[in-house]
């Protein structure tokens, strides 16, 4: 019973910290605000986390688990590389839109004052590179556009959706992402490939309200 309470307290602190980091950023967030929002004392907070950097690192690592899991779940057997790219972008946007821990952790990984070496934005860039390379191997890409230009355009646009979505969640909606793919994909893909993909590929978010997933390798 005591262990269950400790787990619940830790989860509440992670979520409260994520909400505070989302509102104020890393620098302006205080441990007092985090503990108060979680309904625990600062002493209880320090039992679980040594300092603000430790709890921020845990929020960030938890976000990485959530986002990687969403990306993996979106890439189902039998999909071609372009469909996997589209589906992954929808899954990540959905996770960011509905989960404050994912949003806050992703933002923390991009903030200069708090850098742990975890580069979630860089991971997304590498994912785009990998999937477009696979799409080229599968003869899905149109002639006349350099692959690096494709990578740059998709990375810049989708990263921009995340930044804009901080103030207006509609930027991370399935409709917004579908409009983006409808605009750019005819330039990137062959006509044959276009006929095989679902631009609206996204599963409804099902984790809303659940406790944050605990990263196995989070360092405190």
Chain centre distance of CA 62: 10
Return the exposure string of 72-87: e unless at least 16 CB atoms fall within 10 Å of the residue's CB, then b.
Answer: eebbeeebbbbbbbbb
Residue 158 lies in a domain: yes
Q: How confident is the model at residue 210 (pLDDT cuts 50, 70, 90)?
A: very low
Structural domain contains residue 68: yes
Q: Is position 108 within any domain?
A: yes
pLDDT digits (tens, 9 = 90+) for 27-64: 999 999 999 999 999 999 999 999 999 999 999 999 99
As a whole number of angstroms, the distance between CA 14 and CA 117 comes to 20
Percent of the chain with pLDDT strictly greater than 90 = 80
Taking 70 as the threshold, does the pLDDT of residue 207 lie above it?
Answer: no
Among 98-107, 112-121, 144-153, 205-214, the range scoring the smallest mean pLDDT is: 205-214
Residues 6+ apart with CB under 8 A from 14: 55, 58, 59, 62, 101, 212
Task: Answer yes or no: is 30 within a domain.
Answer: no
pTM value is 0.86
Q: Which domain holds residue 71?
A: 60-194
- Token pair of 42 as six digits: 């600062």
Q: For residue 36, is it within any domain?
A: no
Domain count, the chain: 1
Cα(197)–Cα(191) distance, integer angstroms: 11
Q: Is residue 168 one of the residues assigned to a domain?
A: yes
In a domain, 219, yes or no: no
Is the four-CA dihedral 46, 51, 54, 55 of positive or negative sign? Answer: positive
Domain holding 161: CATH number?
A: 1.10.357.10
Higher per-residue confidence, 206 vs 62: 62
The answer to the question of residue 109 being in a domain is yes
């Amino acid at each position: 019973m005591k262990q269950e309470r400790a787990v619940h307290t830790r989860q509440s602190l992670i979520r409260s910290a994520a909400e505070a980091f989302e509102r104020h950023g890393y620098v302006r967030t205080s441990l007092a605000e985090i503990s108060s929002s979680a309904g625990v004392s600062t002493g209880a907070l320090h039992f679980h986390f040594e300092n603000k950097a430790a709890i921020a690192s845990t929020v960030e690592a938890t976000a990485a688990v959530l986002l990687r899991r969403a990306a993996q779940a979106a890439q189902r057997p039998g999909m071609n590389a372009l469909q996997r790219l589209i589906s992954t972008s929808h899954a990540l946007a959905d996770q960011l839109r509905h989960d404050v821990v994912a949003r806050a952790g992703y933002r923390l990984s991009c903030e200069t004052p708090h850098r742990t070496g975890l580069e979630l934005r860089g991971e997304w860039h590498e994912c785009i590179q990998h999937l477009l390379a696979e799409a080229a191997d599968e003869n899905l890409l149109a002639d006349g556009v350099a692959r690096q230009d494709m990578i740059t355009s998709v990375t810049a646009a989708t990263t921009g959706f995340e930044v804009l979505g901080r103030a207006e969640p509609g930027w991370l909606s399935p409709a917004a992402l579908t409009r983006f793919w409808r605009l750019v994909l005819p330039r990137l893909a062959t006509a044959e490939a276009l006929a095989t993909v679902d631009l609206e590929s996204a599963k409804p978010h099902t984790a809303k309200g659940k406790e944050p997933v605990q990263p196995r390798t989070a360092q405190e």
